[in-house]
Amino acid sequence: MNLNAKIFVAGSTGMVGSSIIRRLKKDGYNNIFYKSRKELDLTNQKAVHDFFKNHKFDQLYIAAAKVGGIQANNEYPAEFISENLLIQTNLITTAFNCKIKKILFLGSSCVYPKNSSQPIKESDLLNGKLESTNEAYAIAKIAGIKMCEFYNKQYSKKHKIDYRSIMPCNLYGPGDNYNTKSSHVIPALIHRFHNAKLKKINTIKVWGTGKARREFLYVDDLAQACVYLMSIEKKILKKNINNYNGLINVGSGHDISIMDLANNISKVIGYKGKIQFDKKNFEGVNQKVLDISAMNNLNWKYKTSLNLGLKKSYNNYLKKIIKS
């Protein structure tokens, strides 16, 4: 673990990127670089190349992406696939050309097939049809995973590169997006329940039957996993992970129904009204929980319980709306 390594975090203004930066600083790394979207357009290959060439980074965390919930993914698939392909292709190819030896690519559990057996193993990738509501985003992320894998396959020995991909489950926490049209389920429900509480709305409608089950991880736990994974020697990874190809799941290993999640969030916020589930709207796959055996083999485990994480997230939300 080289605390003087020169590190660039792409996507620093997002929930994941900002959390990774906080974790790197907490762990004592003192040579961290990041740029906002206005300062560096990651879809512009020349701009990325010039920036990387000038700084000569040792490590790259790719947390930059166009993200959104079911509604956004379903309405804007062209933007989700094109923008994400541009960002990650520019970053990975330019990193190689500028001799950056280590990359951590942030993927998503939506890359796995819709009807995967539970819990989902890394080996399930590309073994079935994707969930249609986020297919565009998933395909872009799969391309990023495979780019890292194929660069390793072709160039790891000659150029000493080590590109890794981490697949997190659903994330939430500080820096989340609370726009109900583009957010994921936890921030969307926090925002809606809070407003309903203030306005004394008697009933809140939630998409789907409420029976779908999801796994959630507090974003600061993911950030710790990312920095930890980047610090582990390649030979140790190969020793502890079967069929190592640089792809590793990370999560809590536990899932919860959307119905129970909604009830938990309403209790944290203090909303006393009725929760009604709209069966006519999307809810995605029935269940999605990751097999985190590989990370467990590396002695990693999440720390923040869902209940504690929801309380922290609501407190963060309150601070955010007070500032605005």
Share of residues in the chain with pLDDT > 90 (%): 83
Reduced 3-state DSSP string for the chain: CCCCCCEEEECCCCHHHHHHHHHHHHCCCCCEECCCCCCCCCCCHHHHHHHHHHHCCCEEEECCCCCCCHHHHHHCHHHHHHHHHHHHHHHHHHHHHCCCCEEEEECCHHHCCCCCCCCECHHHCCCCCCCHHHHHHHHHHHHHHHHHHHHHHHHHHHHCCEEEEEEECEEECCCCCCCCCCCCHHHHHHHHHHHHHHHCCCEEEEECCCCCEEEEEEHHHHHHHHHHHHHCCHHHHHHHCCCCCCEEEECCCCEEEHHHHHHHHHHHHCCCCEEEEECCCCCCCCEECECCHHHHHCCCCCCCCHHHHHHHHHHHHHHHHHHC
Query: Tell me, what's the pLDDT at 206?
Result: 92
Query: Tell me, what's the pLDDT at 242?
Result: 64
Query: Tell me, what's the pLDDT at 103?
Result: 97
Question: The pTM is what?
Answer: 0.94
Domains of the chain (ranges; CATH) run 7-318 (3.40.50.720)
Average pLDDT, the chain: 93
> How would residue 315 be classed by pLDDT, with cut points 50, 70 and 90?
very high
How large is the average pLDDT for residues 300-324?
A: 93
The one catalytic residue among 34, 61, 112, 137 = 137
Query: Tell me, what's the pLDDT at 324?
Result: 66
137 noted as active-site residue: yes
Instruction: Write the pLDDT tens digit of every residue in 246-280.
Output: 899 999 999 999 999 999 999 999 999 999 998 87
> How would residue 116 be classed by pLDDT, with cut points 50, 70 and 90?
very high
How large is the average pLDDT for residues 148-162?
A: 95
Q: Which of 10-24, 46-60, 286-300 has the lowest mean pLDDT?
A: 286-300
Q: Which residue has the higher pLDDT, 278 or 70?
A: 278
Share of residues in the chain with pLDDT > 70 (%): 98
How large is the average pLDDT for residues 40-51?
A: 97
Query: Tell me, what's the pLDDT at 188?
Result: 92
Residue 21 has pLDDT above 70, yes or no: yes
How large is the average pLDDT for residues 173-194?
A: 89
> How would residue 243 be classed by pLDDT, with cut points 50, 70 and 90?
low
